[in-house]
Amino acid sequence: MDPEVSPVEVGISSSKENLEPLLSKSEVSDEQEVKKTEDQPPPPLPYYPGFGFFHGPRPYRDVPATVVFVIFVLASAAWGIFCIVNHNQDYGIVDSLLYNSTSGLCYSYDGYSSSLARMKKQTDVLSVNSWQSVSAFNRRKSFPSMVRLALTQVLLQSGVRGSFTADSLLSVMIWTLVLTLVLSVPFIFGFLWLLKAFARQLVYACLPFFILIPVFLNIFWFVACILSSECQTSFNLVGRIALFIFVFILCGIFAWIIYSNWDRIELTIKIMQTSAQALFSNWMLLLILPALSVVLLIYLVPFIVFLIYAYMNGKIVGSSGTYCEGEAATGCCSWSADKWVPAYYVLTIFTLLWSILLMTEAQVYVLSSTVAQWYFAPSEAQVTGSIRKALKNAFGPSFGTVTFSGLVVSFIRMVRSAIDTSARPEGGRGFFHSMLECCVMLTLRSFEFINKFTINFAAISGESYCNSARLAYELLKRNLLSPVLVEVISTRLLAGMVFVLSVVYAIVVCAILRAGMNLGPVAYYVTVVAWFLLFVIFLLFCQVLDNAIDTIYICYAIDKDSGAVSNFEVHDVYLNLPVSRDQPPTLAVQQP
């Protein structure tokens, strides 16, 4: 060792010599890691199905949901057939029996034992007079007789005299409803054509009547009540004035809502016009969707018969010290259903609810699939067989997805019904109960919102229910707009327009009935029924148009996510959507 070098310097130098290769190694390793990182491909992005409508053969999705639904249907049908075969024939005579407290049996009017004697394996036969009295009793309580009785009371209260009877009124009402139902078809197509060609003129023509019609009806009933002595007797002056002012306040609120959303009405008109164009190009949907509803009604008829016969499985029991037909008696004979009947009711009613919502989701699927094929079709291309393909997919490979969606909506409806039932207790509700109810309702609305676009996305892509829900949610999250408020305005505008148009039809019907039929005040009752039928039909059409709006929005979001433009007319409209609810449509960011 050099004597001039101290041991400390030797240590430092040795440590430096030891550190230098280490530092060089670390630098080399870092460079290698960076080079390896640059050479490696980027992490894969989440998988999304091909954009646009999937035209190829689709695999079967959500098969377990289909299997469970078929099991429920077969179980309800098999149990229902058992109910028909094993029903108790004595159910039809329960109202004609009297209870004998001495013997503890139920007897018919002429003294022959029937129900409990049969249960005790006694074979007795009812006399002809007993069956005649039972038949007369059943005829008195039949539905047509009840309708005639109600119409007779209407005629008496209206002061109509002469040869005009309840049967005549029933005939006029039936023919008016049949004519309204027939005329609703050209009315719907005419309304659709007006929305496609003259949406702006139609909306601005109907807007003033949104306020004028309620104001007129409010003044009309108030004046009519002043002129009617019966109304003045049953409704005091303070209550009439309070209701009169309250209706005017509601009209003022409606006017303020229209004024505050005036900048969005023009955009809403364009959205409705675009959706009307989609429906007009696929006008067969307006015939196919009601046909599916008719198929559903035919499907429900056997199950309704099963429910009726299920209640006939039981026995007649007697009890003393009760009331029969509203009169005090020593005893009554009543029907006691078997203990398993409630279980069958729960199974069948749930199956019916599931079936109804399944068909509703199937209609949305067919509509979404058809509109999506129209949207993604090449420009000026003729789309053929779109409805047939939509029906094939809805009741074929995607039937499990539709079934699963119907099941989800069924549970949502049942939970909402249970909450609504528990929300009306006799006592007050606590804070915890109110908070729990709010959380559950918020969760249900979230599920409804996700399910609303899930079935649309499944109809376009052919994915399963869970994948469609996830992909639709991520699609909306990546391309966040604010269509909710615009859709609400479109729904309100459509409802207001169909209300105005149905009121115009009701005025025409009332004028014809009063001038040609000489019904007098009874014409108002027939007019109200005709107006209500046409208004409901128009509302169903508005629901179809709303579903078309949702489908077009999903298609636009798919285009926006992929940077494509499949339909220039739709993009010209939807590019004006506001970025947020607080911004008007004119402040929307125009995107290429």
At 365 the pLDDT is 94
Q: What is the CA radius of gyration of the chain?
A: 35
Burial of 487 (0-12, 13-18, 19+ CB in 10 A): middle
Chain position carrying tokens 């505050």 = 260
Q: Which residues, in sequence order, are bridge partners of residue 107?
A: 98, 113
* Amino acid (one-letter) located at 283: W
CA distance 376 to 383: 10
- In 3D space, the residue among 448, 487, 490 whose CA is nearest the CA of residue 469 turns out to be 448
Provide the token pair at 56: 């190829």
Kindly report the number of other CB atoms within 10 A of residue 253's CB atom: 10
Q: Are 299 and 355 in contact (CB under 8 A)?
A: yes
Q: Are 135 and 141 in contact (CB under 8 A)?
A: no
At 217 the pLDDT is 85
Provide the token pair at 286: 């307006």
CA distance 390 to 365: 7
State the pairing for strand pair 331-337/98-100.
Answer: unpaired
At 519 the pLDDT is 67
How would you classify residue 315: left for phi > 0, otherwise alpha for psi between -120 and 50, otherwise beta?
beta
At 518 the pLDDT is 67
- How far, CA to CA in Å, does 551 sit from each of 256, 453, 554? 30, 8, 5
- Give the global pTM: 0.76
Enumerate residues 6+ apart whose C-beta is below 8 A from 402.
358, 361, 362, 365, 394, 395, 455
State the pairing for strand pair 314-320/105-107.
Answer: unpaired
At 324 the pLDDT is 53
Q: Are 351 and 72 in contact (CB under 8 A)?
A: yes
At 103 the pLDDT is 65
Q: Which residues, in sequence order, are bridge partners of residue 99?
A: 106
CA distance 300 to 294: 10
At 138 the pLDDT is 41
Chain position carrying tokens 């949207």 = 375
Beta-strand runs (E) in 198-302: none
The 8-class DSSP code of residue 409 comes to H
At 476 the pLDDT is 78
State the pairing for strand pair 98-100/314-320.
Answer: unpaired
Kindly report the number of other CB atoms within 10 A of residue 382's CB atom: 6
CA angle 500, 181, 212 (to 5 degrees): 10
Dihedral Cα 120, 124, 128, 130, nearest 10 deg? -30
pLDDT < 70 stretches in the chain? 1-51, 95-104, 107-168, 319-331, 380-382, 422-431, 433, 479-489, 518-520, 578-592
CA distance 373 to 463: 16
Q: Are 551 and 542 in contact (CB under 8 A)?
A: no
Burial of 141 (0-12, 13-18, 19+ CB in 10 A): exposed
How would you classify residue 36: left for phi > 0, otherwise alpha for psi between -120 and 50, otherwise beta?
alpha
